[in-house]
Amino acid sequence: MLQILHIDEHLVAIDKPPGLLVHRTALDAQEQRFALQMLRDQLGRPVWPAHRLDKGTSGLLLFALSGETASLLGQAFESGAMKKRYLALVRGWPTEQGLIDHALARDPERASAGQQLLPARTGWQRLARVEWPLAADARFPSSRYALVEAHPESGRRHQIRRHLKHIAHPIIGDATHGKGPLNRAVAGFLGLQRLWLHGLELRFSHPISGEALCLRAPPGPEWHALRERGDWLVDQPKRSA
């Protein structure tokens, strides 16, 4: 059964576990479990996905309970009115904060086929850093990792994953945009293989009532266990002027 984080007569938000597809796709034709069908069966009524999370990504996933609400939520995502926060474990120690302004092709698997590049911006804030006694590279006896909070301003496919790779800090466990040997080394060290990306929060105006909503999916126990591995250096949050 899916964990419901919020429900009213117009929309519902769940905490999607990693490894669960949002809906059927030809890219993973063998998969038999989908969040859309599971939620529909759990509620006993049709649901419409307002956005999507990659199969490996955990966290907050929003559905509409009518086609009209789905359209309004889609417009909010498209216009940037939907404020999103994600948590990620990345390779290396990025700077304390920054903004990645790097256009992306609509389909990353066909980026070389002459596609038009679409504007895409992702802000990030470094939360904590650690150095593990993990020889992910044979040249060094240890390696560095960081927890970052990412704030995508647009919604291109794999945007956070592609942008963090662009600045040479790929997300750990990312089989498409990361490094295989590194992912395997970290999975062996932690005893868990997953894409270390989690949808933390959505802030938006309710599409019908106009109420200001802040929906949040706390990180799962594996994220807390992660913080117990090694001596983490915690960054102090920057205050707005």
**Residues with catalytic roles:** 54
219/128 Cα distance (integer angstroms): 15
Closest CA to 113 of 105, 122, 123: 105
Specify which residues 215 forms β-bridges with.
202
Distance between first and last Cα of the chain: 44
What is the DSSP pairing of strand 121-132 with strand 233-234?
Answer: antiparallel
